A and B are shown apart, each in its own frame.
Chain A
Amino acid sequence: MKKVKVATVWLDGCSGCHMSLLDMDALIISLAQKIDIVYGPLVDAQEFPEDVDVTLVEGAVSSQDDLSRVQTIRQRSRLVISVGDCAVTGNVPAMRNSIPVNKLLQRVYVEGADTNKAIPTDRVPALLKTVRPVSEYVKVDYCLPGCPPPAKNITSMITNLLEGRKPEANLTVKFG
Chain B
Amino acid sequence: MKRVTIEPVSRIEGHAKITIQLNDSGQVENAELHVTQVRGFEKLTEGRPYYEMPGITARICGICPISHLLASAKACDAILAVKVPPAARKLRELVHCAQFVQSHALSFFYLSSPDLILGMDAYPATRNVLGVIASHPELARDGIELRKFGLQVIEWLGQERVHSSWIVPGGVKSPMSAATRDKILAELPKVRQIAEKTLQFFKSASDAFKDDIAKFGCFPTMYLGMVNAKGELQLYDGNLRFRGADDGIVADQIAPDDYASFISEATLRNSYLKAPFYKPSGLEGMYRVGPLARLNTADRCGTPHADKELNEFHQRFGKPAHSAFLYHHARLIEIIYALERIETLLADENILDDHVRATAGVNSLEGVGMIEAPRGVLIHHYKVNAEGAITWANLIVATGHNNLAMNKSVKQVATEYVRGDKIQEGMLNRVSAVVRAYDPCLSCSTHTDGTLDIGIRLLSQTGELLDQI
Contact = CB atoms under 8 A, between A and B. Distances in A.
A96 B44 contact: yes
B17 interface: yes
Contacts of A113: 265-267, 274
Interface stretch (A74-82, A116-124, A162-170): A116-124
A147 B163 contact: yes
B62 A13 contact: yes
Interface string A4-18: 000000111111111
Nearest to B58: A14
Interface of A: 10-20, 22-23, 25-26, 28-29, 32, 36-38, 41-46, 62-63, 65-66, 91-93, 95-96, 99, 103-105, 107-110, 112-125, 127, 131, 147-148, 151
Contact of B63 (A19, A37, A104): A19
A14 B128 contact: no
A88 to B, nearest CB: 14
A16 B144 CA distance: 17
B269 A121 contact: yes
Interface residues of B, number: 76
A12 B450 CA distance: 7
A17 B144 CA distance: 17
A15 B63 contact: yes
Contact of B110 (A22, A32, A96, A122): A22
Contacts of A147: 59, 163
Given A29-B141, A45-B124, A148-B162, A127 B62 contact: no
Given A22-B110, A46-B10, A104-B43, A124 B270 contact: yes
Contacts of B111: 42
A122 B269 contact: yes
B146 to A, nearest CB: 11
A114 B277 CA distance: 10
B269 A116 contact: yes
Given A44-B429, A63-B36, A108-B38, A123 B17 contact: yes
Interface string B441-453: 0010000111101
Nearest to B151: A23
Interface core residue of B8, B124, B148 (most chain A CB under 10 Å): B8
A25 B56 contact: no
A8 to B, nearest CB: 11
